[in-house]
Amino acid sequence: GAGVSQSPSNKVTEKGKDVELRCDPISGHTALYWYRQRLGQGLEFLIYFQGNSAPDKSGLPSDRFSAERTGESVSTLTIQRTQQEDSAVYLCASSSDRGLSPLHFGNGTRLTVT
């Protein structure tokens, strides 16, 4: 596909369960970001992957959150033992350059923790 693809588009889970969110970036994009967006709020940075460099994990809110990226392709964001405050839209974005190109966002995964 031409754009960033995220799956699932919606996820409802019970409190305490683990969830895995997937992001397929645009082919060839070296940079990949995960953001969290609560209803009506801004973009909360979670994690940033750039090529083979160590990821910037400074935005992960707790050790229940982790993310992986295989080379310059797919990334997964895992949330363990989900809590109700984890309910939000999780957005993935990719970029082709080292800071001088726009980010291309997916449409996000809407996570609801009941």
Partner 1 sequence: QQQVKQSPQSLIVQKGGISIINCAYENTAFDYFPWYQQFPGKGPALLIAIRPDVSEKKEGRFTISFNKSAKQFSLHIMDSQPGDSATYFCAASKPGGFKTIFGAGTRLFVKA
Which residue ranges make up the site for partner 1 (CB under 8 A)? 4, 31, 33, 40-43, 45, 48, 50-51, 53, 56, 91, 93, 95, 98-108
Sheet holding 65-69, edge to edge: 5-7, 19-24, 75-79, 65-69
Min separation Cβ 16 and partner 1, Å: 28
Nearest approach, Cβ of residue 50 and partner 1 (Å): 5
ω into 8 cis (within 30 of 0): yes
Task: Give me the phi and psi of 18, to 5 degrees please.
Answer: -95, 145
Is residue 48 within 8 A of residue 33, CB to CB? The reply is yes
Q: Which is nearer to partner 1, 80 or 110 (CB)?
A: 110
- Indicate the residue among 54 and 85 with the shorter CB distance to partner 1: 54
Q: Which is nearer to partner 1, 82 or 95 (CB)?
A: 95
CB 100 → partner 1: shortest distance, Å? 5
Closer by beta carbon to partner 1, 35 or else 86:
35
For the chain, counts of helices (H) and of strands (E): 0, 10
